[in-house]
Structure formats: C-alpha cells, structure tokens
Amino acid sequence: MRYELFYWPSIQGRGEFVRLALAEAGADYVDVARAPGGMRRMLALMEDPDIVRPPFAPPFLRAGRQVVAQTANILQFLGPRLDLVPESEAMRLWAHQLQLTVEDLVVDIHDTHHPVAMTLYYEDQKREARRRAAFLTQERAPELLGYFETVLGRNGTGRYMVGRSLTYVDLSLFQIVDGLRYAFPKMMSRLEPTLPGLVALHERVSQRSNIAVYLDSDRRIPFNEDGIFRNYPELDG
C-alpha cells in the first residue's frame, strides 16, 4: 500500500505527527504537496464537488480509495497498519485518548501566537499573544506535560506511553518536546528537571534508526515561524 499524505509543504505543523509515524514504520508514502504540482492537487481534491466525504482541512491521508482526515484520526487509522499501536480495543482507545490530549496541547501551543484568529498575522495579535503565552508557560504546559510524565511513570518500565512497545503516542510526544524546546527554550529548561521520563523518551525516539535517518534528511522540514512551534522570545516568559 502506497500512502499519500496531503499537507502544507513548508511547515511541520500537524502533518508532522503523521510524517513521523510513516517514517518510523518505513512506510511507502508520498508527501504529495511537496512534489511538483502537488499543492494544486491537494487544493483540487479539497474543492472537488464530487467527493462525497470531503476533508475539512489538511492533513489528510489517501489510502487506495479511502481518504482520512483529522490528525489523531489518521494516526488511529495508521496505527494497526504500521504496527504502532497494541492489538486490543481497550489499548487502542487509550492510545487515541492520549493522542487527543496531545492535540489539546497542540491547540494551546498554536494559540500562543494566534489567540484571536488564525487568519490574522501574529503582528496583529501580539498583545493578546503575550497573555495567552503566559497561560501556556505557567499553567497548561506544566499541567499537561506533568500529566504525560505521570502516565509514562505508571506504565510498567516507563519506557513507552502505551503498552510494551513503541506507539504513535511516543512519536507525538517526541515531537512535542522537540517543538517546545525550539519555541519555548526558557520554559523547557525550567520544566525539564521535573520531566525526566519524557526527556529520556525524546532521546530514545530520536535515536531509533528510521527516525534518526528521517530527522537528518530533507524530508524533515526545519522548524520555522510559520508552523505551530514558533520561536518568539517575547512569548517565552
């Protein structure tokens, strides 16, 4: 099965959670909008009036005739196919529940620079951004990262978030730590001593062979100030 991932070509964004899963599994996939003419194909697909089940927004994934959208839903679809989630329904629901909680944190991170409207420039909502960022750095990030640290600590040896092997949730938390280090280095140097499990998980994931190759390749788009994780020092407390 060749997968086609449709996502904005110049940012990691939400698509990165899917890219990491595909990369870890060594899946056969195309990052459609990064290829010549791909952006046009993506927009055409979104606006095609003949599509009975249209996605609202990227990312979405095409697998044969099926199109799946919403990041956590794509990961839920890919999990069993890429061997990135346990077998049982209960464990799959648990993995998905954690992924949706990761999504909540992603919204809070995104909204630090876009607290008013995603269609306005950051420069037009800087005042609101400072207040919203303080909520993230002082309340939400400590609370949510602390929650994930607790979950990790309660799971057996504390090496994986779910079950006894790597899942897409581990990959997503790698991305969260990686992105927060880029966007909020001061906050992270303050919080990391309280998050030894997540810090070690980030390190382990970064050294997995397929992930290490991916991170070192041009498939990994560098962090920049158009994505979810933006390095705006004035927001980093």
Q: For residue 91, what are its two tokens? A: 């464990």
Interacting residues of 154 by C-beta distance below 8 A, sequence separation 6+: none
Q: For residue 64, what are its two tokens? A: 């044969």
Asked if 139 touches a copy of itself (CB under 8 A), the answer is yes
Specify the residue, 54 or 208, whose C-beta has the smaller distance to a copy of itself.
Answer: 54
Q: What is the helix (H) or strand (E) element at residue 34, kind and residue range?
A: none
Residue 61's beta-bridge partner residues?
A: 5, 68
Calculate ∠ Cα 137-167-57, nearest 5°. Answer: 65
Asked if 79 touches a copy of itself (CB under 8 A), the answer is no
Nearest to 42 by CA among 67, 21, 25, 79: 67
Q: For residue 148, what are its two tokens? A: 């994930």
The side-by-side arrangement of strands in the sheet containing 3-6 is 29-31, 3-6, 60-63, 66-69
- Minimum CB separation of residue 98 from a copy of itself in Å reads 9
Contact 143, 149 (CB under 8 A): no
Asked if 78 touches a copy of itself (CB under 8 A), the answer is no
Specify the residue, 161 or 191, whose C-beta has the smaller distance to a copy of itself.
Answer: 161
Single out the residue of 135, 160, 182, 232 in contact with a copy of itself (rule: CB under 8 A): 135
Specify the residue, 70 or 231, whose C-beta has the smaller distance to a copy of itself.
Answer: 70
Asked if 210 touches a copy of itself (CB under 8 A), the answer is no
**37 to 66: interface string for a copy of itself, x by CB under 8 A:** --------------xxxxxx---------x
| Residue 197 CA to its chain's centroid (Å) | 19
Specify the residue, 131 or 224, whose C-beta has the smaller distance to a copy of itself.
Answer: 131
Asked if 154 touches a copy of itself (CB under 8 A), the answer is yes
**97 to 116: interface string for a copy of itself, x by CB under 8 A:** x--xx--x--x---x---xx
**163 to 202: interface string for a copy of itself, x by CB under 8 A:** ----------------------------------------
Q: How many residues belong to the site for a copy of itself (CB under 8 A)?
A: 42
Other beta carbons within 10 angstroms of residue 76's beta carbon come to 19
| Residue 60 CA to its chain's centroid (Å) | 13
Nearest to 71 by CA among 159, 171, 205: 171
- Minimum CB separation of residue 41 from a copy of itself in Å reads 20
Which residues form the interface with a copy of itself (CB under 8 A)? 51-56, 66, 68-70, 72-73, 76-77, 90, 93-94, 96-97, 100-101, 104, 107, 111, 115-117, 119-120, 125, 128, 131-132, 134-135, 139, 144, 147, 150-151, 154-155
